Each structure stands twice: as C-alpha cells, then as structure tokens.
Amino acid sequence: MTTDATATDWVTSGRKPPWLKVRFPGGENYIRLKKTMREGRLHSVCEEAHCPNIGECWEAGTATFMILGDTCTRACGFCAVKTGRPETAPDPLEPMRVANAVREMGLAHAVVTSVNRDDQPDGGAAIFAATIRWIRRLSPETSIEVLIPDFVGNWDALATVMTARPEILNHNTETVPRLYRRVRPKGRYERTLELLRRARELDPGTITKSGLMVGLGETKHELLLVFEDLLANGVEVLTLGQYLRPSTKHLRLVRYYHPDEFTELRDEALALGFKHVEAGPLVRSSYHAERQVSGLRVRSDIVNVPLEPLP
C-alpha cells in the first residue's frame, strides 16, 4: 500500500490534513432540509454523529434519517451520538413522519438508520419495518436503504426488517476483529458476519452492504481479510472512510490515510469481487448512497409488500 509519512505527521501535529477540509454548511437547500427535520420532529445521523459531509449532502437534498430517538444504549468508542438510557419508548408515529419528510423532499433514495435500542425486546425492528412500509405507501418510486444495529443477535428481529424488503440492508462492520473489543465493546465480529449472511438468506433480492473505518491501528492485511469475510457472507457493497475523533473522550486516532491509499483499497476490494466500493477520507455509510443503488439490481417485487395500516 502506498504510504505518505505526512499522513501520520498530521496526527502528531494535532491538525487535520488539507484533504479533510469541507465547506461550512449553510446553503438554501441545507436550510430547507433542516427546517423539514425540525418541523417533523425528526433526527438525522448527519447531525447527531457530526458527519463532515452534512453540508454537501443536505445541499444536494439527501439525508440519513435516524429513528428510535437520539439516545443510544451503547457507548462505542468512536461514535459521537449521545449514549445512556433512553427516557422514552419508540414513537409508533415516527415512521409516518419520516415518510412524510421523504415525500416532501422528493427523495429518489431514502436512508434510514437508528441508535441501538437494546432496551427494547426487538431492538426497534418493528419501527424499522413500519418506516419502510410507510415510505412505500407515500413514495412508491423511492428506493430504501436501512442501516440497522445487530439486534444483539435477535434473528427474529432481523426477519421483521427483511419482511419489509428494503432495497439495501446495511450493517457496518466498523473495524477489524483484533480491535473489536476496544472499538465496539458490545459488538461481536462473528455476529456482524452472521447478520449479513442471514439477511441475504432471508431475502436474496436485497442488496447487502457494510462499512469500515480506517485509522484506528489496523493493518492492510487485516482489512483485506475482512473484505474476504464480507464477500463470503454475501456482501456486495462496501464503504471505506477515515475515522475522525469526535472528542478527546473518544478513541485515539492512530493515523490519517492519504487519498491514494483509499484508491488502492477500493481497487483491491473491487478486484476481490465487490459490486460497488465507495472509498475516501470523507466517506461514511450513506455518502453518495444513491450511487450505490444505481446500476445494481432494482426490486420488482415490492408491489407485494403489505402496506402499513393508516392510524
């Protein structure tokens, strides 16, 4: 892999390299979308996770909706989302509000994720399924991607989501097995692979996808082994992005990857067999998500999905 000494030097200097600089958000579409979110009492992972692409994506009219509240029951060492014990139960009307926002924004591709809700018996799976069905009802031409938690290995919960037939089922691997205990203390690498495999088995018509962060101390060899594991478990779409430390309380950044290194990793992943790879310093799970579904197979069976009953 091509290496650039400056990629490590930037960490020791305490400054971000120039390839990570982004424009401050504030365009007309950004303001409109923010207004839509607030009026619908909705959350977005773009805001909650301090995504560096929020200006670009919101100005382009795309966003990732975050359902099930704004408080995560886990405390992963890399994530900026608020953690703790959620004070409220999942809102059964949230799926309809998300679908209304999708329709108002005129989205061709909608991405829905959530916090972990380990306090719920199904981890919030029923709300995921209802959100998919409501979007189908109000925006039948919109393709849908869900970025789901692992449901602590509750495969009935996974089946609930898959029954609603999203176009893309995403569950992030995040890092290599050696770093799991430190990066995802409540996650299990084997469980992540099993979830992705089971999702594909439950509905072969759904595209499965996963993502990794780099810069936490992993090696290229470890990354390539993860790529092979993901392919062996049916994953077709891969995202690779730079870990950015949200605060001094979060995991220490080991080094920045140079853009050329992302290009090398993307090319090697494609050569191994992935159908689509989005790789770059600022890439996140739903960055350019509309590109990832474009050109891949499109569902033709969604007409048979039962619609969520009106309240």
Question: pTM higher than 0.85, yes or no?
Answer: no
Residue 124 pLDDT exceeds 90: yes
DSSP string, 228-247: HHHHHTT--EEEEEE----S
Distance CA 298, CA 287 (A): 19
Query: In this predicted model, which residue has the larger pLDDT, 295 or 193?
Result: 193
Res 48: pLDDT: 47
Cβ atoms of 281 and 241 within 8 Å: the answer is yes
Res 49: pLDDT: 47
Give mean pLDDT, residues 269-292: 83
Which residues, at least 6 apart from 285, have a Cβ–Cβ distance to it below 8 Å?
64, 113, 147, 170, 172, 211, 239
Distance CA 3, CA 162 (A): 41
Residue 69 pLDDT exceeds 90: no
Distance CA 203, CA 296 (A): 16
> Worst-scoring range by mean pLDDT, 64-68, 179-183, 222-226, 289-293?
289-293
What would the two tokens of residue 253 be?
Answer: 């950044």
Distance CA 61, CA 281 (A): 22
